[in-house]
Every structure is written in C-alpha cells, then in structure tokens.
Structure 1
Amino acid sequence: MKLTILGCSGGIGSGRHTTCLKVDDDVLIDAGTGITTLDFEQLLAIDHVFLTHAHLDHTLGLPLLLDSVGDLRATPLTVHALPEVLAVLSTHLFNWHLWPDFREIPSAESPWLRFAPLDFGEALTLKGRTFRPLPVNHVVPACGVHLATTAGSLVFSGDTTHSDAFVAALNAIPDLCHLIIDTSFENALVDIAQASKHHWPDSLAAELQALSVRPELWITHLKPGNEAAIMNELRAAAPNWGLEALMQGQVIEL
C-alpha cells in the first residue's frame, strides 16, 4: 500500500494544498485542493473517496473531479462517509443550487456518483486494504480513518481535538505503524483551537501521553505561515516523540 500526500495544509498559498491523500492509484481520503495536483489520467483512475467530514477544505475537489471525468467512467465514483456527512453533501453541495446532483446525472439509473454510508463499527475492504472510521472530536460530524493492510496499519485523524474514544481506538491497533494527526494552531491561539476543535501543541502532547502504541507520528493541517512555530512548540512539549510535519508529495508505504 502506498499513501501519497497530495495536500496536507490547513490552508492555501505559496504552493500549499488542503487535505487530500491518495491510496495507491484508485482511492482518495478527503478531496481538498490537493486533488488538483493530479493529472487527468490519475483523476480518471479514482474509483473511491473516503471523507472524514464535510468541511470545504476536505471536500471541495469532489464536484470538480466528477465534472472532469464523470462522463468517461464505466462505473459511478463511490463516496464513503458517515451518514451525517453524506446528508450534508446532499443538502448543501449536490443540491442543484451550489452544484448539480451527479447521483442523477445522466440518470438515477446510471449515475456518475454514488453515496455509500460507512458508520462507526463498520469496515470496507477494497483490494486487500481495509478502511474503518474511527471516532474523533470536531465541530461537525467527523471521523478518522484506520487503513489496515497485511503489512500493518495507518491512521489518519482528520480534523480533531482531544478525544478519549480516538485514543482508545488507537490503543486497540497493535500493528499501528503510522499516525497522521491534526495540530493546527500554536499554543498562543488556544482559544481559536478550542472553538474550532483542533489540536494545539500542548493538547497533542497530553494526548500522546495516553498512547500505549508507538507509531511514527506525522503532523498535518498546520496553518499557513505558522508551520515552523507549531512544530517547534510540539517538539518542546513532546520531546520523546519523533515528530515530523507531513509534507505535500510525501509517500508512506506499508
């Protein structure tokens, strides 16, 4: 399994792209502006998209993906997400006002887009890769993603702040090799972090103390311009962890 980081920033500018991770050649986890780094043939190869939540920095590439390649696909693009997330997309995105409903184009019997609810406690296996939603704590319905292979596991938190349930889920994955986790703000911006339910360095350091597993740790969703300051504070708050910022273009293999 090869995970390619197409976008992992908390914003845009100077080449930054928002969250989009590609699993091998056929699956995306989230569909932020990182999707625009793919060429046309790579877009056409995407068959499944797993969404952690409905915020635009994680979903805005989805309608443009369908607009670009929908008519060339032999089967619908399948979007997997919590039922509450799919309800938001139905009401606010694919609603014929903000964007056409590709679940009805060219017809309801033969659409370009299909929604597939995936709730907590469920899992989906595609070509030997198992995807499972994990509980997190964000301002909207959201999940992390546990990606399991025969070689080990990787977890992507999506957007979250402290969550006992997420920590418990991580500790229940003995073969956890990689953890990609959100830390968006410096400690001085703790009020904004708390209001928007993102980690800040001190909160993530406290979370790490509760982990009984020891994966490689990658920090994502760093706010533009604050990346170095956040990472410096993180390393000071959690000196026993080898913390690294996730990088656009990075490839993680299992």
Structure 2
Amino acid sequence: MRRADRLFQIIQILRRSTRPVTAGEIAAELEVSTRTVYRDIADLIAQRVPVQGEAGFGYILDDAFDMPPLMLTPDEIEAAVLGAQWVAGRGDPVLANAARDLIAKITSVVPERLRPFIADPTIGTRPCGLRVADSIDLAHVRTWVREGRKIRLLYGDERGERTDRIVWPVIIGFLDDIRMLAAWCELRQDFRHFRTDRIITAEFLDVRYDSRPSVLRQRWKRHLDEKPAVGRNTSPVRP
C-alpha cells in the first residue's frame, strides 16, 4: 500500500470509530507494523490533521475535521453502488429515486479513472422479489419515525382479522419479498412487527409519543436481543 493511501486509510479508521483506536488495532487492519503507524500518525499531526491521543491509549480524530467527501477508494465506490442498486430495486419510490440520484452524483464527481467501477461494477444484486405492494406511504412513515409521532393503523393479520391500533413507529425493515414496520403497539403494550402490505388504512397523527425516537429504538433492539428467534425470523411476526 502506498504511503499516501495508508495515511488516508488511517484517517478513515479514526473517523468511523466512536472510541480511541490503538496503534495496534490500526496496524492489524492495515497489515503493517505499529512502528509504521506511529510514524504515520506523527506525519498526519505534522500536516495539521487534528489527531489526538498517545501511544498505549489510542487515537481519535477531532469531529470538526473533514476531507473532500468524494476521496473514495474503488472498494468504497463499489460498496456505495451495491447499496444504491439494492435500494433502487427494493426501496419505496422516494428512496429508489434517491438511490439512482446518488449513483448519478457519484458518477459526475469522481475522477475519470474511477468511473469504470460504477459503469461496470464487479458485484451486483439479484432482481427484486417483492411480491406485494405497500398499503402505506413509507416516505411519510420515515418522517414520522424521525419526528417521534404516532400512527393509527387498521391492520389485517394472516387470518384476515382486523384490529385498530395506535403505534409508535421505530424502523422500516426491507426484506427481499416484503417490507415490515417495527413499532411499539399501544394495544398490546409491546413491540410488534407489521407487514406493510397488510396495513389497510393509516392515519398519521400529529401527536408525539412520550419518548425520544433514539430511546425507543434502543428499547426495540433490546427487545430483539431478549427474543432472538424474533430477531432472526424473516417471516412476519404476528402482532
């Protein structure tokens, strides 16, 4: 690996971490010696890159630091294109268009030598197997998830039984053939997962639930950890 590429990768490692990263961890990822990492860190600091820390403790990158956003490696470009391809084929119309716009923006600004990685990627996704249409505006749902607002659902289960519920939306899950809405259900007083094609009607209430969205999401993740069979099941969880 060229020295310039190695310095860039060190910055990337520090930028994606939420804790101090030791020279040993950096060396293991880059497959170099810790002495090389110490020397590279010193060079970055000499170039006024705001790296803080010390040997034995670890290093962090100041949050204010930024680099040109499209200094991408070929692997990063293919990762972005692969993700965008998946979303374009499986996302709701708003997300699908955003994914196509993302690919177009990356194509327009990366150097010419990197464009073949977008035009002729070495990886791809299989065609979407989505069998059913959503019965709820997912773009609207995403806004309500971010704002912490409630939704009233008329929901039909696999037996055709209908229930009227008020839910606190947590996250939308995109599977190969269906989409799921994870939410706290006021009727059941627990987390439930709703297939979006089985939602009969949805009313977006201008009412915030009594929690921050990030806190509710953490509660949902703990719920999955406590019930691993639910977290791993790709079939809908019956409310």
Report the TM-score, using the length of structure 1 for normalisation.
Answer: 0.26
- Structure with the higher helix share, 1 or 2: 2
Where relative contact order (Cα < 8 A, 6+ residues apart) is larger, the structure is 1
Larger radius of gyration between Structure 1 and Structure 2: 2
Report the TM-score, using the length of structure 2 for normalisation.
Answer: 0.27
